[in-house]
Chain A
């Protein structure tokens, strides 16, 4: 009766029902926005025409595949005995032969196409699954574990019952959400589901590569089973991790690592990579789309051509056995009080006591601020977070030297001599170059004329052509100089600003927008560092004592905020230093005193200031935002507990995570995007807006500090 435990948790049921209605509403809204009047008769006729074309070509296409397998089997590289390619040919041919007698039919399929294409549904279903899995570990939370372990069915059987409950809930969620969406789609598009159940699934063009002879009805059942099993696997992984690790944050972190790995395999491993099995076995691939049914692929496993779907099903079995087995082991053998783990723990405790006595001596000597640093860096493992973030930042920074092209080399040499306001000398150099290139052009022109007249041999003409070609980098360099000179002249004429020749390559790299991952880690680092600053006192029960002491209110508050800001500043300094030195090492940073408008990207800046001052301003804005995030997290830490503070603060990262997985729209509300001030500035092209955004962040920071102060010192 484990499954009923979820029913008893009204909050969970409320979340599930809420998500269901929200999803149905959102699906219908999206369909309305995307399709508009697509259901008009003319559109239906057009879709029908397209479908007819597809069906007319279907047989031809299948026959081509079978024939192509035969024709390829005579090509030596594809037909070597026991090779992957020859097995792939054979397998593909056999698989597609099944489709030869299939007769797809034309029908109004819009409702089915939209249902299968709506990928947001898959994410929502996984979210529901995770919520239910978390709801089924309540005994860990309520401290009943010792009693349950001692009861008759409290070990392995309980684990099996939990697994059965997960299976049942996965089924309920799948049927409700997918069934609900299909029903909503059918009603919205006025489709006739009952009329098409017996038609072959290949009647839908998206499944043209699915080598199964099944009707749409049977396919829908298989599709639901696929989604059901997939959800069950995700739920059992999450549940086993939570159950085994017995520490919400650690288990959540482990699940997060699994999720990130799955995403990276899906995104970074190509379908033709020798490691493509990682891509197809990634749960992200399986969840996010319908590739299981729409993409035909045989994987090379020790030169055997195994269909990716068979590999995926084998992977599922393995995952279920692994995680269920792990849960059973933990359920049966991990004693709540006395266990092998317990003995190890006690030994560790013994050692840690000794360490603690040493620490106590050390702590006694610490000043008040020193003690606060100690709490964050040592007690709350903040030092690990800082090291991790710094390692990520260093890893993200590329110090490798660049092999400059001839054009870039000449440009750098030109700037060494002529950096500054365009003057006679720089103009002379440009004119000399123009003259040289003109002479080379004329030489080639003359050579062609002489060759036509027979005065120059083909060999000599070829040599002059080669000479002309060897000046290609000079021409590119002149083009770059002309581009910059024209811009600087326009700047002078239109805005009366004496722009400089400055190295646009170096500043462009400093303004690069490729630092989103670093920014994401920065924010996460700040959140993890600051989330326990205040809440740790509540957790340890020291809050009433601190409040009753002489400096316990404002004094401690001040010191804690100081720690938060100093550590945030340390992370800011690290990121800024890495960004600046990586560019300075490769290109050098000269011309910092030039007007900022010398860089064409900043032509819109209304104030007169130097590049150095402007960049300092950009970095100050970045620092402000980081301080605001720190203050916001501290405020949450003062008002709530650490878990809530982390949870709420991580909400700040969600838009960027959505951007990373393809929802580009969210970049407009992502703080991570704004944290790279310059790219944000280029998009907006308005310094006032960015200054206002920074001011807003400062206000949020100040308000957060005030709110935190009130909670800590006044109430």
Chain B
């Protein structure tokens, strides 16, 4: 049993057939934590090994995730386990309750190995804005891991766990997943509860995960999805059942010149899909729209960190957090609200409309995840705007609240709201065709 080859499905099958035990699997994960954590700076907090082994010994293997080791991004409040959001502000914070998603994963029998490093407050797309140092890319220590769910991606890639949770407000699951050759999933906004997950931009935050293949991704969603009375933005919509598809014969894939895919589009024609050009003119303004709306919502969400009820106080905020708080405060302030925030909210409407129109003609839209491969650590850190540009292909999706699935080859599928099962079917067909090694 090589942990690096194990998917959730293979692990559950191995448990069922008694080929190996949960204790062996989590022990292999812990061995990889010992081997790689310091060098790659992946996990900020590792749970007590004795507790992990004991859970693995007693877990009910009939549970949907019974004995599956996972890692949680450090935005996910975990009862009695330090949760930092990647920030010195919360360096000494221990939650007294679980996020809804954490509760669901625990109830499903998942075993939490630890909490993943990330850009502080999810502000970033490289991992370099962590107050605890950047996480290195699993494939090359000089390269950034991508962010903000940097530790989550690298933990899966280095065999510290089989799946990891993340959040995606502007690409923060899809970017690190793509840059570490994994599957990244961002659900429709409102599909998965945000309760107990430290908020970045409340109208864009989406709660997803990083896995080794598409089947695992769909499986994890079946556990985390659902209306939650504790999150009023969750919808009462059943998750469609996805079906593995060998061909894409009746699938229409949209290609937009604003989202240049190069040759990737041809693989889909080979699978039988029809490629249809679509127009998304307003996504050329998506990055500006994002960097007004998000800092505005951030300035509100981070106001609670006053160091009184929890946290170490506002002077512990890092530079990027301070920049975003100030941009947001300014954009919302009297005299500037109309020119900045209200204008951006109107452009957001136009972006939503562009997508809605495109989806009248196509099932999904194909797009690259990032404009470039991962840069070297430290290369862009002094130019905030340069780092922002890594998100040009991911942020439009969050502004419109759409689901998206990113694949190890660096492409993503974007679907209309509530179309997750379509994304999984198409992703699965592509995956079989591309023969990924895990």
Partners in one complex: no
> Which A residues form the contact surface with B (CB < 8 A)?
none
